[in-house]
Amino acid sequence: MTDFASQLPRGAPKDPRGDDPADMRSVKGRSLRPRDAGTLIVLDRSSDDVRVLVGKRHGKHAFMANRYVFPGGRTDPGDSRVALGAAQRLRSDDLDKLTSRTAKRFTERRATATALSAVRESYEEAGLLIGVAEREVPRMPSGWEAFGEHGLLPDLSKLRFVARAITPPGRVRRFDTRFFACWRDEAVAHELPEGGPTQELSDLIWLPLSEALESDKLPGITRIIIAHLVERLTNDPDLHESPTVPVHFERHGDMVLERV
């Protein structure tokens, strides 16, 4: 078996499990089943250094408290009920990767819902609406009303699937998270100056990728994903290509990195 650390990009932490003792707490009994989740990495290229949006999680959170993370969260039932036009859907190559090496029940509709959850959470936590203006916006499910109020239809066409990570067993929360990336100038249709309505993320900041990669305020897995993204941007600076996507998970107590 290939050593996990040797497969990681330059600058990535060697093991994401060792940097946050609060998240190493075990839960008694059977390990929790990972829940679908989506995370959005919003990139800003308006200056010489590409910057990424992160915010600080509340100290009372059971998972990654007081850590700086990307906007994102678990997939809700309403996310699968958002009506999208053909032009607002994910790229077909990303859909293929999202459904690769997954259970049969993880359909394209469910994969799309994870991307939509990343978009919804980016509004709720950071006040960013990822969408396209439409004269008529259909009735939106619960949690999506703000898009209708701003005359926007959620738009996934500018998102790229860049990574997947499954929380190791024995944690107080477990997620099967799909990470998506987009450019601020291409994808963000509207920004709320006061941030997201839920205030789940405080101290929203745009960090240069090089600084984010080295910051101990970010969880290890977040920094690993950033390292993968930096590596990808070196060869695919506009995120237009279709390289393989890293998948992180634990198997028999060892961290594993595969690609799809």
Q: What is the pLDDT of residues 1-45, one digit of tens each?
A: 467 777 877 877 777 776 655 555 555 656 788 899 999 999 999
Task: Tell me which H or E stretch contains 155.
Answer: none
Q: What is the pLDDT of residues 63-86, one digit of tens each?
A: 555 788 999 999 999 999 998 888
CA 65 to mean position of chain CA atoms: 17
Which architecture, in CATH terms, is 4-259?
Answer: Alpha-Beta Complex (3.90)
Give 139's DSSP letter. Answer: P
Mean pLDDT value across the chain: 87
- DSSP SS3 for 181: strand
CA 78 to mean position of chain CA atoms: 18
pLDDT for position 160: 97
Rounded-to-10 torsion of CA 162, 166, 123, 51: -50
The CA distance from 168 to 126, in Å, is 27
The CA distance from 90 to 175, in Å, is 21
Of 159, 88, 97, nearest to 122 by C-alpha is 159
Give 194's DSSP letter. Answer: T
DSSP string, 175-232: EEEEEEEEEHHHHEEEE-TT--TT--EEEEEEEEHHHHHH-TTS-HHHHHHHHHHHHH
Q: What is the pLDDT of residues 152-161, one digit of tens each?
A: 999 999 999 9
The CA distance from 38 to 112, in Å, is 10
